[in-house]
A and B are shown apart, each in its own frame.
Chain A
Amino acid sequence: MHHIIIGAGPTGVVAAETLRKLDAGSRITIIGDEPEAPYSRMAIPYLLIDQIDASGTHLRKGDGHYANHNIEVRQDRVTRVQSERKSVSLQSGADVSYDKLLIATGSRSVSPPVPGIDSPGVHACWTLQDARDIMQRAQAGARVVLMGAGFIGSIILEALATRGTDLTVVEMEDRMVPRMMNAVAGGLIKAWCENKGVKVLTSTQVEVIDAGQPLTVRLNNGNALAADLVIAATGVQPNVDFLEGSGIRTDYGVLVDTQLATSATDVYAAGDVAQGLDFSTGQYTVQAIQPTAADHGRIVASNMAGRTQTHRGNLNMNVLDTLGLVSSSFGAWMGVEGGDSAELLDAARFRYLNLQFEDDRLVGASSLGLTEHVGVIRGLIQTRVRLREWKQKLMQDPTRIMEAYLANTLAIGHNAGVV
């Protein structure tokens, strides 16, 4: 049995390790196209501030980890999948046949359609090589323009500020992290960053980048910024292009069922490239978050090994630290039709908590400045626990999420027959 895994990110590595446990005698090959040991993009911000070196980004730390588990990691690029013949074509020329194939190719950063985006000194921040290029230019005092204040832009913002650069953030939408935070919270994050000396331009677009030293970044408000470095963090997109003509059905990502199987026999997809079941909406979407990538990796490996496991849907969630202000969002943070919500705002202290309910269940939340027991929000949402009288208590004081969880799951409160 030969399992081929395309992609050396968290999903590919977790799947390979799980397969090794479940299918001990099988041959396992990971094919990744970057000239690095398998690493985590999540760790790049910490590399940028020299908190870790490149090895600190590696998914597995032990020497010879992959060889010890009899997992072959091959640097190459899959250019085609022949699902009828059960083989993949490699850029290096060879064709390799598989018994089971996992597509875990993740996503790539997408350049915004801006004239001059290919100029020297304009970089994405997605790969380890991008990070090395950025570190060369992002010296103390360097003028840096960061395009995009979404999750990725915001997560590298801190690193750029910490490096002592003169940083300007340009975001097209009216607030920071618009797909994770509402107007109140997104506005507070912007105010926080501005207080820390970062210039944040929302509802602003880059129109043209003129090459040169420095680069000139022309904005749609008529202003122009001189820049030693421009970072484009305007979005990512699943790596599905190589599947064209393969017969494997794709939409935005690769279409999968609840076993993470694709439309082709013995071909699976998982992680950021897979359009998997979302716990909150019941729809199939690309979540592109670390916990989902790891969960997918374990589930898909089990199915590839012949032990059927049904994917019940992942909760979409994120946590972000912008210059010391921690924010998080979970599930239906924007609320559901006919649902109730509770909101607590202390703008002066940059504290915010927003809970969203459907009937007496928690279905979503977003927070600023909450670092204690924040995970219990996931517990409350994903166990679909009925909050009963605790819904009212949370409406009055949303910070009592942990008590609400304990009261409904431990032998206290009504579970002990006291209330």
Chain B
Amino acid sequence: MLRALKLEPEKCTGCLQCEMACSYENEGVFNPAKSRIKVFTFHQEGRFAPYTCTQCEEAWCLHSCPVEAIVINADTGAKEVLDNVCVGCKVCTIACPFGTVNYNQDSGKVMKCDLCGGDPWCAKACPTGAITYVDVDNTGLDRMRAWAQQSPARPASHVEPRPKEIATYSRAQ
């Protein structure tokens, strides 16, 4: 059974332990700027949202890579960046519609969540259970993936966009 990170914003207190653990385990430094998981702060609402790659089925990053530097780990399902193949072109950073692939200027490579090979440190570091590593069925991930798959179509639960004039090319022309 594949497992995935379950992120529950309502349980997050914004302590940033996950960012510390992630950057330390993956980059060797306690530096939130080098973390692959990020906690976003909503001051007015008094809320926090931990956020990282959902390892989406669409794998926009993987498909946009011109040199096959992003591959699927068959054991974990994670999309992993091969540092020795990545040339640092950054196309994946604009292709990922979730904004979860970042360019690391120090290494000249991109970085993204790889689930720490199946034992994610962010989940182990989270003191409130806002980040857990659970069976895929239990993550609400389907909803997020549905979101991923329908773009570039219209999003769910939002008002229909104004119709756009599209000059359709017809073969009969």
Contact = CB atoms under 8 A, between A and B. Distances in A.
Given A294-B64, A383-B155, A378 B45 contact: no
Interface in B80-112: 85, 87-103, 105
A354 to B, nearest CB: 15
Contacts of B166: 277, 282
Interface string A286-302: 00001100110010000
Interface string A258-298: 10010100000000000001010011100000110011001
Nearest to B97: A379
Given A294-B64, A384-B154, A413 B47 contact: yes
A contact patch SS:
mixed
A56 B89 CA distance: 13
B61 to A, nearest CB: 8
A309 to B, nearest CB: 12
A24 B151 CA distance: 28
A291 B165 contact: no
Contacts of A298: 63
A257 B9 contact: no
Q: Which of B10, B49, B101 has the most CB of A within 10 A?
A: B49
B91 A382 contact: no
A141 B77 CA distance: 48
B91 A42 contact: yes
Interface in A194-248: none
B28 interface: no
A330 B97 CA distance: 12
Interface residues of B, number: 57
B107 to A, nearest CB: 12
Given A46-B88, A60-B68, A412-B49, A378 B40 contact: no
Interface stretch (A97-105, A132-140, A165-173, A367-375): A367-375
Contacts of B66: 10, 40, 42-43, 59, 290
Interface of chain B, main secondary structure: loop
A40 B9 contact: no
A255 interface: yes
Given A290-B64, A386-B159, A413 B169 contact: no
Contacts of B49: 406, 410, 412
Interface string A76-104: 00000000000000000000000000000
10 contacts: A42-B91, A58-B67, A60-B68, A291-B95, A312-B153, A321-B90, A330-B94, A375-B93, A375-B98, A416-B10
Interface of A: 10, 14, 40, 42-43, 46, 51-52, 56-61, 249, 255-258, 261, 263, 277, 279, 282-284, 290-291, 294-295, 298, 312-315, 317-319, 321, 324, 326, 328, 330, 359, 361, 371-379, 382-386, 401-403, 405-407, 409-413, 416, 418-419
Interface of B: 9-10, 33, 38, 40-42, 44-45, 47, 49, 51, 60, 63-64, 66-68, 85, 87-103, 105, 147, 150-155, 158-159, 161-162, 164-171, 173
